[in-house]
Structure 1
Amino acid sequence: MTNKKFESEDSETREAIDRAASGAPAAGWAIRDRFSSDEIFQRLIASADEEIATGKQELIFSGFAAGFAIVLSFIGYAVGKTYFPHNNFLSAILYPLGFMYIILGRYQLYTENTLPPVVLVLTRLASVPLLIRVWTIVLIGNVLGAGLGSYILANTHVLSPQTMEAGAMFAKHGLETAWWDVFFKSLFAGWLVAGVVWLGNAARDTIARLLLIYIVFYTIAVADLFHVITAACDVFYFVFVNGSGVSIFYEFWLPVLLGNTVGGVFLVGLVNFAQVEQHPYPEARVLSPRELLFSWKGGQTNTPAHSTDEESKPISE
């Protein structure tokens, strides 16, 4: 009897350790260092719930900080192009720097931090207007931060003349690329970033996440793909240096924005979500079709699996 009691206590202790405060698994059920697709999805739900519940002020300032930090990627890539103008493999070495800074620092970055809430809408745990609110605030913050960073770089001597010239070529290259080519390049970039979101929730340690971030964003640069916030930095810098008109935003930045968004939502919606769609969350209240489309409802969605006797928190407006 005593042994059974200890075994029961050990089981309860392990279950408590293996779950975060949100109820998301902190370790795999079958294999502790490997999550199943359903467990990854639960972790993504918990992360998305945190994102969509963030206040406006926190979103805008975190987004602004991320936009300003993306300048690090611009600087790194421009320096690389200065020293290795004809070698993409070497010139892109420092491109992931800003993304590593942002993602590991948990700043709000459009695509990386705005894709997880899509799963809340797909599972009818948050409304479409609430999703658009997060997207809009984060995007505005990112663009403002990128604009300020670009202005400083364009009007000071932080960069050498050769590096400034190399940086101005980024947006010029985008303008020379056909609109639909930019869109599809950005679509694949959005798909890659969504992969970072999914695989990041599958990783259990910072080193694995660091390598994941570096490899994916290095690939984006080497493959000549486009990310919407680095593209914003490129565009602002080009405008501040050359005095170009605002038409560059439609000709280059807009297809990047659309491509990243479509590519990311496609992966989250039609690939990752589809493989766990058959696993409902009965403890969470789903929104009605009317609430899904017209309300501002969304909130706590996860209840720890071991606390089935407790009611889940209501979805708050």
Structure 2
Amino acid sequence: MSDDEQRSRGADETAEKRAKDAAEVEQGHRPDALILHEIIRREGEEELRRTTLALALSAFAAGLTMGFSLIVPGVLKGHLPHEPWAELVLSMGYSIGFLIVVLGRQQLFTENTVTPILPLLNERTLGSLARVARLWSIVLVGNILATFVIASVLAHTDAFQPEVRKAFAEISRHTIEDPFWTTVIKAVFAGWLIALMVWILPATGSAAPFIIILMTWLVSMCGLAHIVAGSVDAFYLVATGEIGMGAYLTGFFAPTLIGNVLGGVTLVSVLNFGQVVPDLEGQKRSGV
């Protein structure tokens, strides 16, 4: 082989190695905010295009599944000793419902404070607003109806032992014990955490289950208010006759809905959208 051929072959091998190295760096590179925004925006567009029946069934399934965020802590509370460390374990059980819902791609209202909002922020028209309102209405109604069903089943059947049903009631009482504005503030933080979870999930890969458990465990451990998981608790008390529907609506539903929406939309969707606006405008100007 001549010297020219050796140099040419060496140059080809060097270029190939550089390309391989660049691919490995790109694969290992953490996605930036613009990439995360685009992934979530596309997911939001897909959700906004789904049929009413598909959304309703998915939302109803999610509400039923969230029953496990009462069932698992209740079973644990009924069997664990009354020790300070037991509360941390109970809080971990709260995450099970969220884990199934998110990995199963079921429609959960607090997730929808992020995904459909990004398409709305990109296309700020009445038509886009109407599509988001339609999605929110279907998902929220489906979630809440399902939580009433699962809570009624837990309250009126002997599927669980008396000590477990007693634990259900004890856990549920904590959901409605705070004044209106305290619940709003707690719900803001819960909406913030859940929306942050949705924002960072595309960057987590195989670590997604750990992130879901971590973020939702924080919601429970800090005693925050989540509109769907908390509705299972509150409806359990309604079903057993401990509180009335009015107490649920004014003492839990209204303040929690306000707080979750404020936390998810304002603190995550709008602020995270704001950080990518300059890049989006730069792409539009360059024709990308």
TM-score (ref. length: structure 1): 0.77
Task: Write the distance in 2 (CA, Å) between the matches of 1:84 and 1:263.
Answer: 35
1:257 has 2:257 as partner = yes
In structure 1, give the amino acid aligned to 2:255: P
Flag the 1:62–1:245 CA change in 2: closer, same or farther, 3 A: same
Residue 269 of structure 2 is matched in structure 1 by 269
1:59-83 deviation per Cα after TM superposition (whole angstroms, max 9, x unaligned):
0000000000001111012223332
Deviation, 1:28, is: 8.4
1:165 has 2:166 as partner = yes
**Cα contact 1:28–1:36 (8 A) shared by 2:** no
Flag the 1:281–1:49 CA change in 2: closer, same or farther, 3 A: farther
In structure 2, give the amino acid aligned to 1:186: A
In structure 1, give the amino acid aligned to 2:145: L
In structure 2, give the amino acid aligned to 1:78: G
How many equivalent residue pairs? Answer: 270
Deviation, 1:172, is: 2.4
**Cα contact 2:187–2:256 (8 A) shared by 1:** yes
Residue 39 of structure 1 is matched in structure 2 by 35
Residue 151 of structure 2 is matched in structure 1 by 150
CA RMSD between the two structures:
3.0
Residue 303 of structure 1 is matched in structure 2 by none
1:6-85 equivalences in 2 (<5 Å): 29=26, 32-82=28-78, 83-85=80-82
Task: Write the distance in 2 (CA, Å) between the matches of 1:259 and 1:93.
Answer: 23
1:21-51 deviation per Cα after TM superposition (whole angstroms, max 9, x unaligned):
xxxxxx985x644101111111111111111
Residue 184 of structure 2 is matched in structure 1 by 183
Flag the 1:149–1:35 CA change in 2: closer, same or farther, 3 A: same
TM-score (ref. length: structure 2): 0.84
CA radius of gyration, larger in = 2
Task: Write the distance in 2 (CA, Å) between the matches of 1:28 and 1:274.
Answer: 28
Residue 288 of structure 1 is matched in structure 2 by none
Unaligned runs of 5+ in 1: 12-17, 19-26, 285-306, 309-317
In structure 1, give the amino acid aligned to 2:278: Q
Deviation, 1:157, is: 1.1
Flag the 1:78–1:272 CA change in 2: closer, same or farther, 3 A: same
Task: Write the distance in 1 (CA, Å) between the matches of 2:110 and 2:265.
Answer: 9
1:187-222 deviation per Cα after TM superposition (whole angstroms, max 9, x unaligned):
1010000110111022223xx110000011111111
SS at the partner of 1:74?
A: helix
Q: Structure 1 residues 59-68 or 90-99, which shifts more?
A: 90-99
Residue 96 of structure 1 is matched in structure 2 by 95
Flag the 1:106–1:281 CA change in 2: closer, same or farther, 3 A: farther
What is the percent sequence identity of the aligned residues?
29
Task: Write the distance in 1 (CA, Å) between the matches of 2:96 and 2:213.
Answer: 8
Task: Write the distance in 1 (CA, Å) between the matches of 2:264 and 2:139.
Answer: 16
Q: Structure 1 residues 138-147 or 116-125, which shifts more?
A: 116-125
**Cα contact 2:92–2:213 (8 A) shared by 1:** no
Task: Write the distance in 1 (CA, Å) between the matches of 2:135 and 2:83.
Answer: 39
Flag the 1:213–1:84 CA change in 2: closer, same or farther, 3 A: farther
In structure 2, give the amino acid aligned to 1:35: P
Task: Write the distance in 1 (CA, Å) between the matches of 2:277 and 2:69.
Answer: 36
1:93-120 deviation per Cα after TM superposition (whole angstroms, max 9, x unaligned):
2110111000001000011144211111
1:110-144 deviation per Cα after TM superposition (whole angstroms, max 9, x unaligned):
11144211111111166111111101100111111
1:131-150 equivalences in 2 (<5 Å): 131-150=132-151
Residue 212 of structure 1 is matched in structure 2 by 211
**Cα contact 1:80–1:93 (8 A) shared by 2:** no
Deviation, 1:154, is: 0.9
In structure 2, give the amino acid aligned to 1:97: I
In structure 2, give the amino acid aligned to 1:90: V
Flag the 1:80–1:254 CA change in 2: closer, same or farther, 3 A: farther
In structure 2, give the amino acid aligned to 1:144: L
Q: Structure 1 residues 274-283 or 174-183, which shifts more?
A: 274-283
Greater fraction of residues in helix:
2
